[in-house]
Structure 1
Amino acid sequence: MNKRYEKELDLFSNDKIFNKLNQESVFFISGSTGMIGSYLVDLLMYLNNAKGYKIQIYAMGRSKESASKRFKTHFDNVNFHFVEGDVTKTIVSDVKADYVVHAASNSDPKLYATQPVETLNGNFLGMLHLLNYAKEVNAKRVIYISSGEMYGIPFDIDDFDGFVETDSGYVDYSKSRACYPSGKRAAEVLCQSYLDEYNIDSVILRPCHIYGPTMTNSDTRAISSFIRDGVFQRDIVLKSKGDQIRSHCYVGDMAMAIVYAIINGQTGEAYNVAGDSSIAAIKDLASIICNYANTEITFDIPSETEQKGFSKVPAAILKNNKLKSIGWQSHYSLNSGIEQTINILRENIDTNNQT
């Protein structure tokens, strides 16, 4: 937490959508120490501390020790409650949450290769247990953080200009790498099934490649690795040609998508989350970071484990028109978001070195 980050939280907290949010709402957030979950916690706590809200936040994670470090400014606050637990196990809680947000998932390509079973369980079993919890406490709405990877590979790549929410591409189920997109697909169907059978209100968000200052140190995704290189002014090592084209989105804009889905989202609907002016090939993304950090791009051969975790999707482009139709807009382009991320992380390093 530094002044630049606080200024950003203040920007988002002034969004008019918060006028529609009950100031004493109760949130139950799985994956609270991950990149998306932790940003959402920070944003809601900022509303409490700076705007006088009294939102109760139940932040679920597997390690109290890790959470106490990540949320050291929140941990003793009366509105913050850490829930130690694993979403792949039954959730036993008497907390009457208004909103349940499932943001717990292996989103690291290395884990897809080394922990495909855990990746599947985190999505499907995690969603199952959170939906059962929402059913027991009569929650107002469940938000599932799915993924743009659930679309798979476009069937007609030559005419492809981006996925809309009704599209569906090809996923190779003969490889364990399918654990991630197929787990996301299965969890989405589970949401729809609980809606039809038990009338559990849910909204699905399909984010593209999310980045930002709340990324974890263990995140081995290309964009996170590149950003860390930019922060420390190291040359970026590409382990492919870098031709894959992707949509990107700044984590603060992603957190706001969750809020808009809670307030304005339509029950049972899915919404793509992608920033404006944020489509780039991997090699172009690396160039943006190198130009900002004044470093170079080099090439290396990936290991067998790294290759196993790579996505085979040549173009992962998401259209965000549907999300915009409920009032959401992105504040950061890819260039401005990368700059903001590197600046915040560098300032945090400087502050830690001083203390």
Structure 2
Amino acid sequence: MNDAIRHLIIEDCRKSCTDANIFDDLKGQTILVTGGTGFIGKWIAEMVTFLNVTQKLEINLYLLARDIQKFKDEVPHLAEKQYIKLISQDIRNLHDLPEEVNYIIHAAGSPDNRDHVSQPLRTLETFYKGTFNVLDSATRLPGLKKILHISSHTVYGKNNDETFIKESFLGTLEPNTVNHVYGESKIIAETLCSVYKNQFRLPIIILRPFAFIGPYHALEKPWAINNFIRDGILGGPIRILGNGSTIRSYLYASDMAYWILKALTIGQVGESYNIGSKFPVSLDELAKKIQQSISPSIEILSRSSKENYANISRFVPDISKTVKALAVEETHTLEDSISRTVVWNQLNKK
């Protein structure tokens, strides 16, 4: 990874980290991240590195995942840090965690719906057995202070009416179809968190992420913004494969990492918080923004299989509870998020 890429990420962390003093309680502490080599894990490692360098916090970080060699290959500048330790482990077979762990961020499991459909049983096992194993192991940690469970906005089910989704929203779910195994698995995992919080008094907080964008977000993943940016970088055309009126919102990666660490530090045990951007954008508008960011000459093609859609899919979080409780803000606009993601991928030659 070249210096330009590192500088971009450091500047992202600096901009997002609006109150570094809030992390004084993490000084000298040990944080373990399950799924630690994925998108979230990499950004937690970047933000912890930023805090260790700028605030001298001396945070120790364990990253637990199945494929640690890929992490070493992709981000050697993080893998070589003495305060970052890698644990090769499938959480479905997890029995114990390092006893010095003070904080856990449970982020294991792929949000890629291709994995959910092709390997539904593994998806269910990862979120049920994996979460059970993490929480059971946590009951034996002598210095445990807090667990942050990364859930998903899919626990809300279908949304046909709400403009902004609050933490109390209850949509409809279809448990009899394999397409919903991810959302159902996340609900089961949240239920386990509730059980362990009440029966074993584990200090658990739940975060429900919506959509993100930024460096380390693989462009081959099956999400519109990733594919649009990939198409644009390759010279186009940008293809809209579905309803261009679909509404989403996108939080930049460094803001995401800062919000997660803030929730870990000052979040209220027993609470659930949405994490995402409050600014909605349709896929049609998103494609145009990416076109303008890369080259106005790039063609946009809409290839919908339907001319008219009965319902418009809309998933945008109400983050008022999160903003008030955690004192966070979005520091990157969507235009800036797109621009920086494009630059990072161009520098990274991927």
TM-score of the two chains, using structure 1 as the length reference: 0.89
Aligned 8 A contact 2:219 2:227 in 1: no
Q: How do 1:239-258 and structure 2 match up within 5 A?
A: 239-258=241-260
Tell me the equivalent position of 1:56: 60
Tell me the equivalent position of 2:41: 37
Structure 1 stretch 135-144 or stretch 118-127: which is displaced more?
Answer: 118-127
Matched residue type, 1:316:
F
Aligned 8 A contact 1:245 1:281 in 2: yes
Tell me the equivalent position of 2:191: 189
Matched residue type, 1:173:
P
Kindly state the Cα deviation for residue 286 of structure 1 after the two structures are TM-superposed.
1.8
Q: Matched residue of 1:195: which SS?
A: helix
Tell me the equivalent position of 1:296: 299
Q: How do 1:120-139 and structure 2 match up within 5 A?
A: 120-138=124-142, 139=144
- Structure 2 unmatched runs, 5+: 306-310
Kindly state the Cα deviation for residue 97 of structure 1 after the two structures are TM-superposed.
0.9
CA distance in 1, matches of 2:300, 2:124: 34
Question: What is the percentage of aligned positions where both structures have the same residue?
Answer: 24
Q: How do 1:275-286 and structure 2 match up within 5 A?
A: 275-276=277-278, 278-286=279-287
Aligned 8 A contact 2:20 2:55 in 1: no
Residue 212 of structure 2 corresponds to residue 210 of structure 1: yes
CA distance in 2, matches of 1:84, 1:200: 25
CA 1:217–1:298 in 2, change beyond 3 Å: closer, same or farther? Answer: closer
Q: Matched residue of 1:10: which SS?
A: helix
Tell me the equivalent position of 1:144: 149
Kindly state the Cα deviation for residue 35 of structure 1 after the two structures are TM-superposed.
1.1
Matched residue type, 2:293:
Y
Matched residue type, 1:325:
K
Q: Matched residue of 1:36: which SS?
A: helix
Structure 1 stretch 205-214 or stretch 87-96: which is displaced more?
Answer: 87-96
CA distance in 1, matches of 2:114, 2:129: 21
Tell me the equivalent position of 2:308: none
- Structure 1 unmatched runs, 5+: 303-311
Kindly state the Cα deviation for residue 14 of structure 1 after the two structures are TM-superposed.
5.3
Aligned 8 A contact 2:220 2:227 in 1: no
TM-score of the two chains, using structure 2 as the length reference: 0.90
Tell me the equivalent position of 1:341: 341
CA distance in 1, matches of 2:125, 2:336: 36
Q: Matched residue of 2:79: which SS?
A: coil
Aligned 8 A contact 2:47 2:258 in 1: no
CA 1:95–1:71 in 2, change beyond 3 Å: closer, same or farther? Answer: farther
Aligned 8 A contact 2:37 2:68 in 1: no
CA distance in 2, matches of 1:215, 1:316: 19
Tell me the equivalent position of 1:219: 221
Kindly state the Cα deviation for residue 80 of structure 1 after the two structures are TM-superposed.
1.0
Task: Map Cα deviations across residues 27-66 of structure 1 (whole Å, 9 max, x no partner).
Answer: 1001112111110111102222343221111011111210
Aligned 8 A contact 2:210 2:275 in 1: yes
Kindly state the Cα deviation for residue 228 of structure 1 after the two structures are TM-superposed.
2.1
Matched residue type, 1:168:
L
**Equivalent position to 2:94, from 75, 83, 90:** 90
CA distance in 2, matches of 1:293, 1:344: 13
Aligned 8 A contact 1:2 1:348 in 2: no
CA distance in 2, matches of 1:119, 1:286: 31
Structure 1 stretch 85-94 or stretch 98-107: which is displaced more?
Answer: 85-94
CA distance in 2, matches of 1:233, 1:91: 48
CA 1:225–1:52 in 2, change beyond 3 Å: closer, same or farther? Answer: same
Aligned 8 A contact 2:274 2:322 in 1: yes
Q: Matched residue of 1:149: which SS?
A: helix
Tell me the equivalent position of 2:174: 172
Q: Matched residue of 1:21: which SS?
A: helix
Matched residue type, 1:321:
S
Q: Matched residue of 2:92: which SS?
A: coil
Task: Map Cα deviations across residues 90-124 of structure 1 (whole Å, 9 max, x no partner).
Answer: 23333421110111121112212212222222222
Tell me the equivalent position of 1:110: 114
Residue 101 of structure 2 corresponds to residue 101 of structure 1: no
CA RMSD in angstroms comes to 2.0
Kindly state the Cα deviation for residue 22 of structure 1 after the two structures are TM-superposed.
2.5
Matched residue type, 1:169:
G
Aligned residues: 337
CA 1:19–1:39 in 2, change beyond 3 Å: closer, same or farther? Answer: closer
Q: Matched residue of 2:78: which SS?
A: coil
Kindly state the Cα deviation for residue 75 of structure 1 after the two structures are TM-superposed.
2.2
CA 1:95–1:297 in 2, change beyond 3 Å: closer, same or farther? Answer: farther
Aligned 8 A contact 1:149 1:316 in 2: no
CA distance in 2, matches of 1:133, 1:217: 35
